[in-house]
Structure 1
Amino acid sequence: MRRLLPWLLAAGLGLAGPTSAARPIAAKATSPAAQGLERLGSALSLGELNEQAQQWVNEGFDAPDEVLARLDDLQRGLDAAPPLAWARVVERTRGVVAARTGREALAQEAAGRLSQMAGQDAVAAADAAMVRALLDEQLWRNDSAIGHALEADAAYARACAGDAGRSAGCDHHGWWEVIRMLALRADRQGNRLEAARLQQRANELAAQAGDDVLLAWGLASQAVMSQRLNDLEKSRREMTQAERHAHKDPSGRAMIRVLLNSAALASLRNERTGSRPALEEAVRIARSAGSARLEALALAALSDELLRAGRPRDALAAVERALPVMRRFNDRRYLPVMLHNGGIARVRLGQLGQGKADLEAAVQLWEQARARARVETELNESADAFAAAGDMKAALESFHRATRLREQMDRETRDAVLTQLRDRFRTEAGQRDLELAERENSVKTARLENQTLMQRVWMLASAVLTLAAGVLIVQVRRTRQANLQLRRSEALLKVQSERDPLTGLANRRHFREALAARQEGEGDGFQGGLILLDVDHFKRINDEHGHAIGDSVLVEVAHRLSACVRAGDVACRWGGEEFLVHTPALAVESVEALALRVLGEIGNRPVELPGGQRITVTMSMAYAAFPLPPNGVTLPWEQAVNLVDMGLYSAKATGRDRAVGISAADVNSTEALARAAGDFERARLDGRLVVKETPRQG
């Protein structure tokens, strides 16, 4: 199960506010926010105005309709046009409340009014960009959200830094929101040092404003970032400080965020017993505070932990409590998460029909948001759940959807990298050609000048001509060197395009070209052995040790695989944690011996990690030697890989850490063999495919 807490903690929902208790929405005549805003005309300073407006934002987190209606009533009841600062704060408040509930038209209208004020009020430009960033984040338009956040950060820095900010009536909440949004973007991209730097900026802003709520939340978030940077002592110190500030918030909302981050820390430290109690306490506090949205966020994280603990019934109950709230508030970021968790829970409970429907709905929502990496992860988890439930057809379908998606993403990434490399080398080559042309032009100019001088002083002209000849020789040599460097660069580009940058093995493109060259002249039938390997539980390695350790594991697996294959074999990184080996002209017994040697070489020796830690890494694999006996039936190489891929999935479904060999096929044609590959399990059972399964020998 994927780690949900870091994603839930990315939500900028409902906590930005003063340290006073969050008050429930009351009647119009008695609400503190209403009372404050009704006397804004003359009695309140800008600082008091911002504080009253923030209380309104906090009320709007759980009751947006009441707050938006009250703002409309307030504006209609004014006898005269309000001061510009008053109008800015009200429009910002309206925009934030609307954005956090995904009300696009209303939020854009408020942002537009703020933009119209920008010519007279510099803070209004920053507030407009901030509202648009919050709206795009709520609607999961990540690229646009970050663009508006960068715009808002720069505008706040111009308008709100130092004494000028206090006189302009700047409010720190909006600036804090956009800085934190940028920190989360850096963290998602793996730039953890930049994420920690930005979060520190946000914390300093909250500390300068004396805002215990934001400071508690920011320190707890930074504690998680410090843990990921392996600064354990700093992480503990920051979490202690966060708890101290959270206790100053009587509403309990700051403590909810601290508890969510505390649960994330427990997961990072593999303290499983620490995650669930913290999340259950967050649910309890949110319910006591009357915040249905914060309770739903805590339940979302809790459902993930309950699934991981093997309690699908309790996880489903948490999902069913949270899902209506998320739908009511249009929380598009969390809807697919909850649908997926509910679907996995239903599949584990045997409710296959509804479970499949929920899982497919989650995938469609992620696809709409173009979150393809998340789609791949969830399809793989769905495949594991279906396999455990005995629905092998659904498991294979999810597995192959994930595989096709991974291949598409790898292909697009490879094409983008190659395009970038080609453009760079073309630019460099063009620059060199330009420099050569300029030098040649200089030589021609020098010759003309020399001819003029020759008419006046022959001796001097002779000397100049001699010098020009020397310059020409130098230029010719430089031209040759430039052409040589260009050829070397082209050769380097070819090598880089054929190798996987992480492991140094051949990549999928080179593997295809090598196989095409070897099979040339042999017809459509594929000749030779294939071994397809996949690292077992690789997602768990990334989750428990981090992606850097996961990359180290892939490098070590590639090293051991290279040590096992022969000089004439081709080993490649097929994609993600998959590797593929082609061995020309080997009998099935020899291919089997090679496969088992690789299985033992990887699984029998633990992988050494930095710091002296050791982990055992195992592989699932499948192999075959073509043409398949007894009838010598062959397949095109792509279908041969697909057949071995089905064997690999069978190895995973029957326990992992083993090799599945396809030793024979009782068929008489390529078409019959292709049909057997398409329904692997049935062909195995009825004897059309003879399969040998061999667990690793320790």
Structure 2
Amino acid sequence: MSLQGRPKGEHGRAQPDGAPVTRGTLPGEMRRLAAGTLLAVWAALPLPAAAAVQATAAPAGAGAVAAIDAAATVWQALEKLDGALALRQLEDEAARWVRAGYDDPDGALRRLDELQQGVDAGLPLAWTRVLERTRGLVAARAGREAVAQEAAGRLLQMASRDPVAAADAAMVRAELDDQLWRIESAVGHALEADAAYARACTRDPRGSACDHRGWWHAIRLLAVRADRQGNRLEAARMQQRANELAQQADDDTLLAIGLSVQASFSAALNEPEKARREMAQAERHARKSRDGEAMVVVLLHESMLASLWPHGKGERQSLERALALARAMPSARWEAMVLAALSDEYLRAGRPREALAAVERALPVVRRFDDRRRVPVLLHNGGLARLRLGQAALGKADLEAAVRLWEQAQARARIELALNESADALADIGDAAAALDHFHRADRLRREIDDLNREAVLAQLKERFRTEASQRDLELAERENSLKTARLENQTLIQRVWMLASLVLALAAGVLVFQVRRTRQANRQLRHSEALLKVQSERDPLTGLANRRYFREALAARQPGRGEGFHGGLVLLDVDHFKRINDDYGHVAGDAVLVEVARRLEACVRSGDVACRWGGEEFLLHTPSQSPEAVEALALRVLAGIGQQPVRLPDGREIAVTMSMAYAAFPLAPHGVTLPWEQAVNLVDMGLYTAKAMGRDRAVGILAAEVADSAALHAAASDFERAMQQGRITARITARAG
């Protein structure tokens, strides 16, 4: 990326007729007017928002003269700099101006409007572009659509003379659309900005300079979009691109923010050690940065990841530091953001009253600024707190309002997490029907997100396998050439053997035996590698159990010639409160629980049964037996075998782990209706959610179905609870003894 500006002495300015002139030909009165107007406002750029407002309210006279004198001093200092250095300093000041406008957008826009008067004809084109982009960004982040669109239009008018202006215009529109939740349009403009910055900044534009911050924000918007959809792999990839850009520019502020975000992605992708390293790097860059907001962002992410290193800084400590920094800046919006995180921490600590108080302090602030990213978070946390305080009706209303707002943002990953949290809270207060509804909605979203992530993983695997296949083809060609060479040498040797004595013939025979042995050894190694690869592709790497792929192949092999009808027993089970285990003890403890559950599961099954990790904290058993009694005995044996002893964690602590499960023997009595195996799994999945809604640590056995065909059984399964009440499905619910 080129960051060069105009060479020294080439600060071309546009006269009214558009003809470029040099610094020496600009009329003296116009030059003084441009300098005074620009720097009288520019001098206030580093000030906090509150200080800027006070300066505006000061009476004219001595204060105004002092401001003009200070502006002239700064202008004279910039006059002595090389053009690229002066423009770079303006870029740095503009970035601080945008941050000041975060809390006082009206004051920032008012000062920028004053700055725009009389300077357009007296500034280099790149300087005018920076000021228009700054004005557009302040307006976009405040939701001022008319002002932002006007600034973007002016930037587009400059695009023919300054290619970076087109990228800046697209980036301003992307920020505006994201703020107003026009999601598809925001993504389109962010992609447009990314491509335009790449075109303008990878060559050597002599007439303009590239500021890495605009490009960084465009890429960051694409990462945020992928994260909202639950595509963490793509989000992490885009964030890595943004971090590399900040690294090239040696920008400690953006590196601190970007690395802390990257650490959150690494933790979500189950890479805790990588997350730890990235967070440590983020803290180092935040300390080097002079921007207090960078440290607030780092502390917020550090609080979210506190469970990954239990011996490090605590979550509350990080949030209290962040709150003190936000108040010291001062910034009402950053303080509200920290209060939102504190409300989440209070909820996890079982302190709903403090959580609700934090929400009620922060919500008016974010609503005043129309901050649509924060409103649903606060509504959701407030709804959970109200449920736990006995305000059920208000709590449910807040939870649904939060989900509706996230739906507008197409934030599927956040909705799925929120529905799981609200389902647990509703189950805790005894509202089983509402809890079951939230479980079902979360499950549908989880499947959509899993499909999206699966597609991303497959795309990456295909690319990797394509590269590895090319490498293998190259190695195979080299080996084939070596073999042909060896064969030619052997033929030459054989010809010589016929010409030499029996001693040479014996030597040739020895060489041939050696080659045969090497070929056989290579073939054995190849067969061993193929067998190892097959085993690895059929096993879950964490628990060692079979995976979904092996489960499908095993069913196909066991039931030849039976068409779509599934025969045998299914047991689907899920670890109770697994999210709480991860939150309270960390992801390393969660992995240890899954490994121990898998070990106990294997101890309960018999020869011929198939146990697999179905996904996340879910496990699935298949037994060839079609006897309902045998399947029920297996299910209850598993329920007791897993829950009767606590699980010892790697750090020596012990926690109680229980399971919820559902089971059935197919074809179902009394009519022997058959189903494809996928629908059979969906049926026991409905039973599993019923077990969770009824208090967990129990099994729901589907014993019979009064239906005539598979279509009627599928319809009954789609509304499992009503089918049970109407007697179309007969189930037995068994809580674990002890």
Q: TM-score, normalized by length of structure 1? A: 0.73
> Secondary structure, in 3 states, of the residue corresponding to 1:62?
coil
Count matched residues: 616
Q: Residues of 1 paired with 2:110 and 2:504: CA distance? A: 89
Change over 3 Å in CA distance of 1:489–1:684 after alignment to 2: same
Counterpart of 1:156, as a letter, is A
State the partner residue of 2:483.
440
> Is residue 2:234 matched to residue 1:175?
no
State the partner residue of 1:359.
403
State the partner residue of 1:23.
51
State the partner residue of 1:544.
584
> Is residue 2:668 matched to residue 1:650?
no
> Is residue 2:309 matched to residue 1:235?
no
| Contact 2:612 2:620 (C-alpha < 8 Å) held by counterparts | yes
Change over 3 Å in CA distance of 1:443–1:109 after alignment to 2: same
Instruction: Quote the sequence identity (%).
Output: 47
Counterpart of 1:109, as a letter, is D
Compute the RMSD of aligned alpha carbons: 4.7
Q: Residues of 2 paired with 1:685 and 1:149: CA distance? A: 55
Q: Residues of 1 paired with 2:472 and 2:281: CA distance? A: 43
State the partner residue of 1:324.
367
Change over 3 Å in CA distance of 1:425–1:201 after alignment to 2: closer
Q: Residues of 2 paired with 1:140 and 1:420: CA distance? A: 20
| Contact 2:604 2:638 (C-alpha < 8 Å) held by counterparts | yes
| Contact 1:343 1:357 (C-alpha < 8 Å) held by counterparts | no
Matches within 5 A, 1:208-357: 211=290, 213=292, 217=296, 220=299, 224=303, 230=309, 232=311, 235=313, 262=316, 286=327, 291-305=331-345, 309-310=351-352, 317=360, 320-325=363-368, 328-329=370-371, 332=373, 334=374, 336-338=376-378, 340-341=380-381, 349-350=392-393, 355-356=399-400
Q: Residues of 2 paired with 1:299 and 1:338: CA distance? A: 9
> Is residue 2:84 matched to residue 1:40?
no
Q: Residues of 2 paired with 1:680 and 1:405: CA distance? A: 21
Q: Residues of 2 paired with 1:336 and 1:471: CA distance? A: 77
> Secondary structure, in 3 states, of the residue corresponding to 1:694?
strand
Counterpart of 2:479, as a letter, is L
Following TM superposition, by how much is the alpha carbon of 1:362 offset from its aligned partner in structure 2, in angstroms? 1.3
> Is residue 2:111 matched to residue 1:70?
yes
| Contact 2:669 2:703 (C-alpha < 8 Å) held by counterparts | yes
> Secondary structure, in 3 states, of the residue corresponding to 1:635?
coil
1:368-396 Cα offsets, whole Å, 9 max, x none, are: xxxx5444323433444566543367335
Change over 3 Å in CA distance of 1:228–1:321 after alignment to 2: same
Matches within 5 A, 1:534-683: 534-683=574-723
> Secondary structure, in 3 states, of the residue corresponding to 2:611?
strand
Given candidates 251, 261, 264, the residue that maps to 1:184 is 261
Q: Residues of 2 paired with 1:116 and 1:441: CA distance? A: 47
Counterpart of 1:40, as a letter, is V
1:126-155 Cα offsets, whole Å, 9 max, x none, are: 455445456656777846852552343343
Counterpart of 1:235, as a letter, is K
Following TM superposition, by how much is the alpha carbon of 1:510 offset from its aligned partner in structure 2, in angstroms? 1.4
State the partner residue of 2:437.
394
| Contact 1:344 1:359 (C-alpha < 8 Å) held by counterparts | no
Q: Residues of 2 paired with 1:336 and 1:612: CA distance? A: 39
Change over 3 Å in CA distance of 1:617–1:421 after alignment to 2: farther
Change over 3 Å in CA distance of 1:146–1:39 after alignment to 2: farther
> Is residue 2:534 matched to residue 1:494?
yes
Counterpart of 1:484, as a letter, is R
Change over 3 Å in CA distance of 1:132–1:634 after alignment to 2: closer
State the partner residue of 1:242.
none
Gaps of 5+ in 2: 1-44, 156-164, 172-195, 228-234
Change over 3 Å in CA distance of 1:431–1:422 after alignment to 2: same
State the partner residue of 2:728.
688
| Contact 2:212 2:246 (C-alpha < 8 Å) held by counterparts | yes
Given candidates 246, 261, 266, the residue that maps to 1:153 is 246
Following TM superposition, by how much is the alpha carbon of 1:342 offset from its aligned partner in structure 2, in angstroms? 6.1
Q: Residues of 2 paired with 1:208 and 1:51: CA distance? A: 16
Change over 3 Å in CA distance of 1:298–1:219 after alignment to 2: closer
State the partner residue of 2:39.
none
| Contact 1:302 1:318 (C-alpha < 8 Å) held by counterparts | no
Following TM superposition, by how much is the alpha carbon of 1:582 offset from its aligned partner in structure 2, in angstroms? 1.3
| Contact 2:419 2:442 (C-alpha < 8 Å) held by counterparts | yes
> Is residue 2:157 matched to residue 1:109?
no
Change over 3 Å in CA distance of 1:90–1:483 after alignment to 2: farther
Change over 3 Å in CA distance of 1:694–1:490 after alignment to 2: same
Following TM superposition, by how much is the alpha carbon of 1:37 offset from its aligned partner in structure 2, in angstroms? 5.2
Counterpart of 2:367, as a letter, is P
State the partner residue of 2:185.
none
Change over 3 Å in CA distance of 1:427–1:446 after alignment to 2: same
> Secondary structure, in 3 states, of the residue corresponding to 1:582?
strand
> Is residue 2:442 matched to residue 1:404?
no
1:114-136 Cα offsets, whole Å, 9 max, x none, are: 95997569985545544545665
> Secondary structure, in 3 states, of the residue corresponding to 1:23?
helix
| Contact 1:88 1:117 (C-alpha < 8 Å) held by counterparts | no
Counterpart of 2:627, as a letter, is A
Following TM superposition, by how much is the alpha carbon of 1:579 offset from its aligned partner in structure 2, in angstroms? 0.8
Following TM superposition, by how much is the alpha carbon of 1:638 offset from its aligned partner in structure 2, in angstroms? 2.4
Following TM superposition, by how much is the alpha carbon of 1:669 offset from its aligned partner in structure 2, in angstroms? 3.6
Following TM superposition, by how much is the alpha carbon of 1:614 offset from its aligned partner in structure 2, in angstroms? 0.4
> Secondary structure, in 3 states, of the residue corresponding to 2:621?
strand
| Contact 2:97 2:134 (C-alpha < 8 Å) held by counterparts | yes
Change over 3 Å in CA distance of 1:409–1:547 after alignment to 2: farther
Following TM superposition, by how much is the alpha carbon of 1:19 offset from its aligned partner in structure 2, in angstroms? 9.7
1:304-326 Cα offsets, whole Å, 9 max, x none, are: 35655445976874675255246
Following TM superposition, by how much is the alpha carbon of 1:477 offset from its aligned partner in structure 2, in angstroms? 4.3
> Secondary structure, in 3 states, of the residue corresponding to 1:41?
helix
| Contact 2:222 2:238 (C-alpha < 8 Å) held by counterparts | yes
Counterpart of 2:716, as a letter, is A
Following TM superposition, by how much is the alpha carbon of 1:660 offset from its aligned partner in structure 2, in angstroms? 1.4
Counterpart of 1:230, as a letter, is W
| Contact 1:99 1:134 (C-alpha < 8 Å) held by counterparts | no
| Contact 2:539 2:550 (C-alpha < 8 Å) held by counterparts | yes
Q: Residues of 1 paired with 2:629 and 2:588: CA distance? A: 37
State the partner residue of 1:10.
none
